[in-house]
Structure 1
Amino acid sequence: MKHLLKTAAAAAAVLGLAACGSGSPSAGTDASGSPAAGGEGLTPVTVGVIPIVDTAPIWLGEAEGLFAEEGLDLDIQTATGGSAIVPGVQSGSYDFAFSNLISIMVANDKGLDMSVVANGATTTGDAEHDFGGVVVNADSDIRTPKDLAGKKVSVNNLSNIGDTTIKDVIEADGGDAASVQFVEVPFPDAPAALENGVVDAAWIVDPFLTQAVDSGARLVSSNFVDFHPELDIAGYFTSQAKIDAEPELVERFTRAMNASLEFAQENPEKVRDIVGTYTKIDDETRAEIVLPRYRAEFDQEAAQKLADSAKKYGTLSNDADLEKLLP
């Protein structure tokens, strides 16, 4: 595990980068509300993303000129997490942004009016080979998800997609999800918390998952796949106000994003290469990590199950309106 701690510390920058931009007002319009001209006649568009593997398609699409083909000049701004991204969309600092689906559901549950306009990342569907999972130390007596009952499990954020899916997986395996104590530990710190006995199990995503397993940790559940093999994890979203005010801009962004997702899925090595331009994941690790599935379409059944589970476990107070939320 010593090698894991060193590599995890180095990879911490993946999730710890500060915002690159100042969060200026929406670049999609000028002072009069009309589309503003970008470089070479392109319309500037500001997108808030987290600098992780999941967001590779937008970086790749920009590099390959797929957004320029739609007349868009992207200003990709990085943020540390959804707590900064959702308010950025609400205020107009970002025209579009990336977040997991639960976070967007929660934002709407609290009275905001957000809609997803393009997919972001999807589970691989392979329980033995996914980019997120629950791991334990090699000598742990935890063997299956039901064994997590009564244990302390780390997630990066409470009341979000991690603990929601894990609770469902535990119950499906015959365990008592209500008895699990979830604790908030950032992904880069979770391997050390597991090794030191601070938690009994840790939910982590790549690159930390691959590093942990390579260093001796044991996978108990690929919770995304075990929850639903077609689960879409995240998407690109904007405010309903933006959709109403600039529907043509939204359509252009969606087309470019869908093309980028398809290109990324067809070119995994280019995905691994582009990840090295906006993260500090080294070449060796990038070659080993599991990539998400990138696709344009959403699986409605999986999304409905996610929304229902979020309501069941108290993450949402109301039923999510998926007809309004998803494209």
Structure 2
Amino acid sequence: MTIRAFRRATALLASAVTLTAVGGCGLISGSDEAAAPKPERSTLRIGVLPSVDVAPLYLARNEKLFSAAGLQVELIVVDDDSSAVQQLDSGTLDVAFASHVTLFRAVHSGKELQLQGEAYQAAENTMALVTLPDSDYDTPGEIQKPKIAVNHKDDLGTLTTESVLQTANVAKGNIKWTSMPFSDMVKALESKSVDAAWMVEPWITKAQRSNGARVLTDTARGYTLDFPMSGYAASKKFADANPKTLAAFRNVLAKAQELGTNRLAVQEVLTEYAEVDAQTAGLVSVGSYPVSINPVRLQRVADMMETSQLLTSRLDVQQLLPPATVS
């Protein structure tokens, strides 16, 4: 090859490299600037309870995180989480907040659900057995056939209470359950129709402030330490029809859960929806808000349900997760 030909080839190679570099920069820039897929629908109806678990949703709505993602979210307060899950079938709700126990029991009974995120994880005194000051029930093992109030039988309260009382040598079959709303539990304690009530926040703190209630035992201890309490789910039918909408919801939920790390912000927003004053809200115990779904963590709930015979066979939580990406 002549010197002239060599120089020409070198110039052409340099030109090709430059074009490739420019093209590469363009691709990277385009990827960074690509907008998120537009949701199939702009309105999302979410069934919630007035509990500490859902505080991040209210924080996100106040910070306009949902509207920034193209979603108009309606937070609809329901009587109980089982009702919320049932309303997914009728289309009254698009997403339901519920305890993981409620969700897994629904799936086990044949309901097709897709998990959209974890809501809440227990910490000290975020769920507990509560009694009143004049109660003679002083230690978990003191009454061998206790009458316990729960919001629903065979739900989170039953599962965690059985765990704690069995540790105190109370036989599972000896526990007598009474189902009632959290708001009715103090009256049941006053009338002595139950020996203790399983409560979550903010009802624990409300009972302490208004009635001098005391915690008989924390039910987030031992096998239920740091227990995954609740989450969000949609029907499989809705999820299949609206993958971009739910992907947008999950993205905002992750940001919302991060807002939940600010305990003061959580306690402050409780006054907007949980019927508590600022002083009561400031005393509420707050757990943690997972920013992503952890199937290993949730499998712990399903496996414990199987051991406790709330499920008759093993439930594979991995099968309930949404697709990793939406094209």
Specify the TM-score bucket, using the shorter chain as the normaliser: 0.7 to 0.9
Q: Does 1:230 align with 2:217?
A: no
1:291 Cα offset (Å): 2.2
In the alignment, the residues of structure 2 paired with residue 181 and residue 301 of structure 1 have an alpha-carbon distance, to the nearest angstrom, of 32
| 1:298 to 1:244, Cα distance in 2 relative to 1, 3 A | closer
1:298 Cα offset (Å): 4.5
In the alignment, the residues of structure 2 paired with residue 78 and residue 151 of structure 1 have an alpha-carbon distance, to the nearest angstrom, of 32
Q: Does 1:103 align with 2:102?
A: yes
1:148 Cα offset (Å): 4.6
| 1:131-280 aligned within 5 A | 131-138=126-133, 140-214=135-209, 215-265=211-261, 267-280=262-275
Superposed CA offset, 1:263-299 (max 9, x none) = 122x222222322222321222112111232221345
Give the structure 1 partner of residue 33 of structure 2.
none
In the alignment, the residues of structure 1 paired with residue 164 and residue 290 of structure 2 have an alpha-carbon distance, to the nearest angstrom, of 24
| 1:21-60 aligned within 5 A | 35-36=40-41, 43-60=42-59
In the alignment, the residues of structure 2 paired with residue 146 and residue 297 of structure 1 have an alpha-carbon distance, to the nearest angstrom, of 37
Give the structure 2 partner of residue 319 of structure 1.
314
2:299 to 301, 304, 316: 304
Superposed CA offset, 1:228-282 (max 9, x none) = 22211111111122222222222111010111011122x2222223222223212
Gaps of 5+ in 1: 1-33, 37-42
In the alignment, the residues of structure 2 paired with residue 100 and residue 235 of structure 1 have an alpha-carbon distance, to the nearest angstrom, of 6
1:140 Cα offset (Å): 4.4
Q: How many residues align?
A: 283
AA at the equivalent of 1:35: E
In the alignment, the residues of structure 2 paired with residue 298 and residue 279 of structure 1 have an alpha-carbon distance, to the nearest angstrom, of 26
AA at the equivalent of 1:310: M
1:326 Cα offset (Å): 4.5
In the alignment, the residues of structure 2 paired with residue 309 and residue 178 of structure 1 have an alpha-carbon distance, to the nearest angstrom, of 17
Gaps of 5+ in 2: 1-38, 323-327
SS of residue paired to 2:225: coil
In the alignment, the residues of structure 2 paired with residue 285 and residue 219 of structure 1 have an alpha-carbon distance, to the nearest angstrom, of 16
Superposed CA offset, 1:91-124 (max 9, x none) = 2222212111111111111111112111111112
The 8 Å contact of residues 123 and 229 in structure 1, kept in 2 or not, is answered as: yes
Give the structure 2 partner of residue 77 of structure 1.
76
The 8 Å contact of residues 268 and 282 in structure 2, kept in 1 or not, is answered as: no
Superposed CA offset, 1:53-104 (max 9, x none) = 2211111101102112322121222211123211221222222121111111
| 1:302 to 1:109, Cα distance in 2 relative to 1, 3 A | same
The 8 Å contact of residues 130 and 196 in structure 2, kept in 1 or not, is answered as: yes
| 1:148 to 1:163, Cα distance in 2 relative to 1, 3 A | farther
Give 1 or 2 for the bigger CA radius of gyration: 2
Give the structure 1 partner of residue 12 of structure 2.
none
The 8 Å contact of residues 145 and 170 in structure 2, kept in 1 or not, is answered as: no
| 1:243 to 1:148, Cα distance in 2 relative to 1, 3 A | farther
The 8 Å contact of residues 149 and 177 in structure 2, kept in 1 or not, is answered as: yes
Superposed CA offset, 1:152-194 (max 9, x none) = 1111111111011111222233331221111113212212222
**TM-score of the aligned structures, taking structure 2 as reference length:** 0.79
Q: Does 1:88 align with 2:54?
A: no
List structure 1 runs of 4+ shifted beyond 6 angstroms.
none
Q: CA RMSD in A?
A: 2.2
